[in-house]
C-alpha cells in the first residue's frame, strides 16, 4: 500500500508536469477595450493627442489604420464583436434584448477561450451591462468568475463636476480625485483589479484571457484635472470642417442629444437640431476629450507593465466619437469619425507592421482564436442557419502574415433611425427597436464611403431596398473627411451602381 501511494504521487506529478507543459504552449491574451475611443492617438497622427504608452505598444505591434465598428453605439457594437455577428443577426440596435434568448445561443470570444482551458475574467466594461448581456455580462457563459465593475461607476451621471455654479452634471468635467465620491474614479479601480488578477495568474498553470474595459473617454469627460496640463487650450487644433456636409440627407443627421442634456452644454442654448457649438467650446470639449484619453493612456501603461512579452495584446475602441466634424458630436452616425476605431494587435514574435486594408471588429474573434492556435478555427456563418460557433467576419492572420497580401475588402456598418428628419423624441440618436423605421447601411474602402438609407421592418429585421430615403457617396481620394455628398452627381452614377450592388449583396438577408 505504501508503494502504491508513492507510485500514485509519482503519477500525479507526471500528469501535473504534462499539464503545465501543455498549457505553457497556450499564450495569455489581454483584451483592452476603450469606450468611445476614436483614433485620437499619437500613432494615428492626431495633432491633439498625447499617448506615449499606447504609441509604444503600437511600435511593437500590428497597427490597423482603418478598422471599423459595425454600429456606433456601445451595446450593439460590443455584442457584435464579442459574438462576431453583425447587428442584423443579433437583432440588437439599442440596449435591450439578449441574443441567447432572442436569436441564438451564439458562442462569444471569451467563452471560446474558457472552453479551451483559459481562465477568463472581465474587468470594467467589456460587455455593455444591462439586458443586452442578461444583466450579468454574459456570466457564467463567458467568464470563469463574476465580472468586476468599479463601485464608483454608479456616480457616472451624478452632479460631481465642479464649476462656478457648484457641482453639476457637466460634459466637461476635470476633477480632483480626492474630492470625488469614494475618493476614486472607475478606471482607477478597474486598473487595480486588473493588476491584482495578473499578479495572481503568474503562478497559475492555466492561461488567461483578461478583458479590461476602460470607461473614459465616454461622456461625461471626467478625468483627473492634472491631465489638462498635457493639452493647453492654446495648442488645440481644429483643422477640419465643422459645417453640415453638402447634400447630406436629413435622415443621416445625428442631433447629439446626449451631450445637449449635460448642464454646461444646455447653458449654451444651441438650437435643435442643426445649431453649432461655439468655437471656444469646441476647443474646450476637444481639450477635455484628449485629456481623458491621456488619462487612460497612463493607466494602460501601468497595465502593460504587468504582462510579459509572450502575451497577445489586442487593443480596440468600441466605436468612434465625433468632435465637431460636420457640426456633429458624439457617436450615432455612419460617418468615418463615428465608425472608425483604433485597433492595435501585439503578437509575440511577429514583426510590427502597419496595415491600411479596411478591417472590421467582427474580425477580432476569429483572429485571436487563430493567433492563440486554438482548434477548431472559427468557420464562416451560413446566413440561412448560423451555427452557435461561427463568424460573420474573417480571420486577419493571412493579412498579418503576408506582407505582399493585398485585400480589396470593404468594411460594413449600419445605424438605425426612427424618422426621416432629426427628432428628440423618439430619439434619432438612440431609437428603441419599436421606433426604428429606417436603417442606414454603409460600406467603406480606401476610395469611397457609400451609404443607403432604406425603410426597415423592426419585426422581420429586413430592409426594403425599394424604398430609399437617402443616399451618400464620398470620394476619399479628395474628400477623406466626408464633406461633399456626390450621390446625386450624374458623373458618379456608374460608381454608385457598382457600390450599391456590393452593399445590397452584403446586407440582403432574404437570400
Supply the residues annotated as catalytic.
Answer: 74, 128
What three-state secondary structure class fits 475? Answer: strand
Q: Is 46 helix (H, G, I), strand (E, B) or coil?
A: coil
Cell of 289: 476629450
DSSP states along 370-388: HHTT-SSPPPBPPSSS--S
Kindly list the distances between the CA atom of residue 358 and the CA atoms of 196, 332, 336, in Å, as whole numbers in the listed order: 36, 21, 12
Distance CA 300, CA 54 (A): 7
Q: Tell me the three cell numbers of residue 225.
A: 484635472
Which residue in 326, 297, 363 sits closest to 40, CA to CA?
Answer: 297
Could you tell me the three cell numbers for 465?
Answer: 431596398
Strand runs (DSSP E) across 234-317, as ranges?
A: 312-317
Measured CA distances, 269 to 24, 100, 184, 250 (Å)? 60, 43, 33, 22
Rounded CA gap, 189 and 486, in Å? 48
Side-chain-facing half-sphere of 440: CA atoms under 13 Å? 30
Separation between Cα atoms, residue 374 and residue 361, nearest integer Å:
20
Beta carbons of 283 and 238 less than 8 angstroms apart: yes
Tell me the CA end-to-end span of the chain in Å, nearest whole number.
Answer: 68
Distance CA 449, CA 432 (A): 26
DSSP states of 317-386: ESS--EESGGG-EES-S-SHHHHEEEEEEE-TT---EEE-S-EEGGGHHHHHHHHTT-SSPPPBPPSSS-
CA distance 472 to 142: 39
Which candidate, 381, 397, 47, places its Cα nearest to that of 239?
47
Q: Say if residues 419 and 437 touch (Cβ distance below 8 Å).
A: yes
CA–CA dist 290, 230 (Å, integer):
9
Scan for cell 468655437, then name that residue. 279
Amino acid at each position: 500500500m505504501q508503494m502504491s501511494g508513492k507510485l500514485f504521487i509519482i503519477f500525479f506529478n507526471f500528469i501535473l508536469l504534462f499539464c503545465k507543459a501543455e498549457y505553457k504552449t497556450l499564450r495569455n491574451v489581454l483584451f483592452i477595450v476603450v469606450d468611445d475611443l476614436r483614433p485620437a492617438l499619437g500613432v494615428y497622427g492626431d495633432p491633439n493627442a498625447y499617448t506615449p504608452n499606447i504609441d509604444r505598444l503600437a511600435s511593437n505591434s500590428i497597427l490597423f489604420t482603418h478598422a471599423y465598428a459595425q454600429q456606433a453605439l456601445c451595446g450593439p457594437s460590443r455584442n457584435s464583436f464579442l459574438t462576431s455577428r453583425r447587428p442584423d443577426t443579433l437583432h440588437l440596435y439599442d440596449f435591450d434584448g439578449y441574443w441567447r434568448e432572442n436569436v441564438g445561443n451564439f458562442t462569444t470570444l471569451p467563452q471560446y477561450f474558457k472552453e479551451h482551458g483559459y481562465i477568463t475574467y472581465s474587468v470594467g466594461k467589456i460587455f455593455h451591462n444591462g439586458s443586452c448581456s442578461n444583466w450579468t455580462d454574459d456570466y457564467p457563459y463567458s467568464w470563469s468568475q463574476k465580472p468586476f465593475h468599479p463601485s464608483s461607476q454608479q456616480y457616472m451621471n451624478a452632479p460631481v463636476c465642479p464649476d462656478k455654479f457648484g457641482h453639476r452634471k457637466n460634459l466637461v468635467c476635470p476633477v480632483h480625485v480626492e474630492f470625488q465620491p469614494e475618493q476614486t474614479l472607475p478606471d482607477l479601480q478597474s486598473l487595480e483589479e486588473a493588476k491584482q488578477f495578473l499578479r495572481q495568474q503568474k503562478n497559475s498553470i492555466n492561461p488567461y484571457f483578461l478583458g479590461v474595459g476602460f470607461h473614459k473617454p465616454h461622456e461625461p469627460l471626467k478625468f483627473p484635472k492634472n491631465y489638462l496640463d498635457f493639452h493647453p487650450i492654446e495648442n488645440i487644433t481644429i483643422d477640419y470642417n465643422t459645417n453640415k456636409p453638402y447634400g447630406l440627407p436629413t435622415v443621416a443627421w445625428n442631433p447629439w442629444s446626449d451631450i445637449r442634456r449635460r448642464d454646461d452644454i444646455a447653458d449654451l442654448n444651441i438650437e435643435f437640431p442643426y445649431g453649432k457649438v461655439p468655437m471656444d467650446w469646441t476647443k474646450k470639449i476637444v481639450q477635455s476629450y484628449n485629456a481623458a484619453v491621456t488619462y487612460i493612456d497612463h493607466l494602460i501603461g501601468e497595465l502593460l507593465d504587468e504582462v510579459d512579452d509572450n502575451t497577445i495584446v489586442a487593443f480596440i475602441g468600441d466605436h468612434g466619437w465625433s468632435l465637431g466634424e460636420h457640426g456633429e458630436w458624439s457617436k450615432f452616425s455612419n460617418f468615418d469619425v463615428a465608425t472608425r476605431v483604433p485597433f492595435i494587435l501585439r503578437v509575440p514574435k511577429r514583426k510590427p507592421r502597419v496595415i491600411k486594408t479596411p478591417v472590421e471588429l467582427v474580425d477580432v474573434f476569429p483572429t485571436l482564436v487563430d493567433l492563440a492556435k486554438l482548434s477548431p478555427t472559427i468557420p464562416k456563418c451560413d446566413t440561412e442557419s448560423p451555427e452557435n460557433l461561427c463568424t460573420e467576419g474573417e480571420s486577419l492572420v493571412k493579412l498579418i502574415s503576408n506582407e505582399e497580401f493585398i485585400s480589396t475588402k470593404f468594411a460594413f456598418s449600419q445605424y438605425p433611425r426612427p424618422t426621416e428628419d432629426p427628432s428628440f423624441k423618439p430619439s434619432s440618436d438612440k431609437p428603441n427597436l419599436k421606433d426604428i423605421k429606417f436603417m442606414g447601411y454603409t460600406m467603406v474602402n480606401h476610395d469611397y464611403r457609400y451609404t443607403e438609407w432604406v425603410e426597415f421592418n423592426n419585426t422581420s429585421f429586413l430592409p426594403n431596398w425599394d424604398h430609399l430615403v437617402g443616399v451618400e457617396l464620398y470620394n476619399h481620394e479628395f474628400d477623406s473627411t466626408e464633406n461633399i455628398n456626390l450621390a446625386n452627381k450624374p458623373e458618379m452614377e456608374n460608381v454608385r451602381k457598382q457600390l450599391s450592388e456590393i452593399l445590397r449583396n452584403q446586407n440582403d438577408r432574404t437570400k
